[in-house]
Amino acid sequence: MRRKTLTQYLIEQQREFGNIPAELRLLIEIVSRACKTIGYNVSKGALGGVLGSAGSENVQGEIQKKLDVISNEILLEANEWGGHLAAMASEEMEQVHHIPNRYPKGEYLLLFDPLDGSSNIDVNVSIGTIFSVLRCPDGVCEATEQDFLQPGTRQVAAGYAVYGPQTVLVLSTGHGVHCFTLDREMGSWVLTQENMRIPEDTKEFAINASNSRHWYPPVKRYVDELLLGAEGPRGKDFNMRWIASMVADVHRILTRGGIFMYPADARDPSKPGKLRLMYEANPMSFLVEQAGGAATNGAQRMLEVQPTSLHERVAVFLGSKNEVERVTGYHRQD
């Protein structure tokens, strides 16, 4: 059987269904090519001298790894010249990145976490890239942070790449979620799973339990009930997985279901959770909803949260619908 490549898939969508404008197709092709380059660098590891710290801090005050910096550069360079973007924003840059004047500008805004799961880089555990695409508001010549602050419902595309045992690209343009596997010999992304679906029920959950003493009561209640298993109110045993790379945890959930949680906790009430709304929570929530799952911040649908700043953090509950609704419901009762 001859499988479809990403290029064929995109052209088909554009031609037959009119789903993907040409400029968006170019954008996705360029991002996917950049992910290929990042994946190549990741796979070199110590041989490519890419492991370890870059000796700098990002806007979040986190020490940047060399691969954080390299991946950010790869995405910036790949996307500057195509004429498809109005501006970019990244976890690794405090300010909006403008398209240099020597290049034409386009109608889209691209946000990314260039290398997600940084703590796993040096230990050879799956890591990835997350991206989100918005339309630049009409009439804007020089996009500012304000232009990016659109709720997740406005995303026109979102996706991630996982650099793991296989390199995969998972993508949605609002018409289902599709998975492409990198054929390393051919250098092409090949469609390997169409219309990924998340089952509504699950027996698997993902949370960093080392923070449990800081959790607020709704999360504590929910996890305690899962841990009681068949003897508790849920009447069934649950299994736990935590990879500490959101891309890998979400990929598992898109593949076989589950719930992923990174809640806000009592450590620092000014920090609502760890993950960032605009380039982690929103693109992942878009994919999860497109696959039939649910995503909230504990209080409301994630995609309806109105962002107030580029790097704001948010509590995240996403995955199998019935579990996300249950834990969100516990927050409402609190």
Question: Three-class SS of residue 283?
Answer: helix
DSSP 156-176: SEEEEEEESSSEEEEEESSS-
| Residue 246 lies near ligand AHM (rule: CB under 6 A) | yes
| Residue 51 lies near ligand AHM (rule: CB under 6 A) | no
The answer to whether 115 is annotated as binding is yes
Question: What is the C-alpha to C-alpha distance for residues 196 and 257, in angstroms, rounded to an integer?
Answer: 10
Specify which residues 262 forms β-bridges with: 316
Instruction: Specify the residue, 262 or 330, whose C-beta has the smaller distance to ligand AHM.
Output: 262
Give the x/- contact pattern for ligand AHM in 103-132, rule: CB under 6 A.
Answer: ----------x--xxxx-------------
Residue with tokens 């950010």: 72
Element (H, E) at 28: helix 22-44
- To ligand AHM, the closest distance from the beta carbon of 46 in angstroms equals 20
The binder of 312, among ligand AHM, Mg ion, none, by C-beta within 5 to 8 A per type, is: none
The binder of 118, among Mg ion, ligand AHM, none, by C-beta within 5 to 8 A per type, is: ligand AHM
Beta-sheet pairing, 85-90 with 108-116: parallel
Contact positions toward Mg ion, by CB under 5 A?
113, 116
Among 208, 239, 300, 309, binds ligand AHM (CB under 6 A): 208
Question: What is the C-alpha to C-alpha distance for residues 271 and 274, in angstroms, rounded to an integer?
Answer: 7
Instruction: Specify the residue, 26 or 206, whose C-beta has the smaller distance to ligand AHM.
Output: 206
Question: What is the C-alpha to C-alpha distance for residues 18 and 175, in angstroms, rounded to an integer?
Answer: 11
Task: Report whether 301 contacts 325 (CB < 8 A).
Answer: no
| Residue 90 lies near ligand AHM (rule: CB under 6 A) | no
**Minimal CA–CA distance to 285: which of 160, 148, 191, 180?**
160
Question: What is the C-alpha to C-alpha distance for residues 9 and 16, in angstroms, rounded to an integer?
Answer: 10
Task: Report whether 70 contacts 84 (CB < 8 A).
Answer: no
How many residues sit in the footprint of ligand AHM (CB under 6 A)?
13
Window of 74-82, 139-147, 165-173, 244-252 that interacts with ligand AHM by CB under 6 A: 244-252
The binder of 208, among Mg ion, ligand AHM, none, by C-beta within 5 to 8 A per type, is: ligand AHM
Residue numbers belonging to the annotated binding site for substrate = 116-119, 208, 274
Residue numbers belonging to the annotated binding site for Mg(2+) = 91, 113, 115-116, 280
Residues that bind ligand AHM (CB under 6 A): 62, 91, 113, 116-119, 208, 244-246, 262, 274
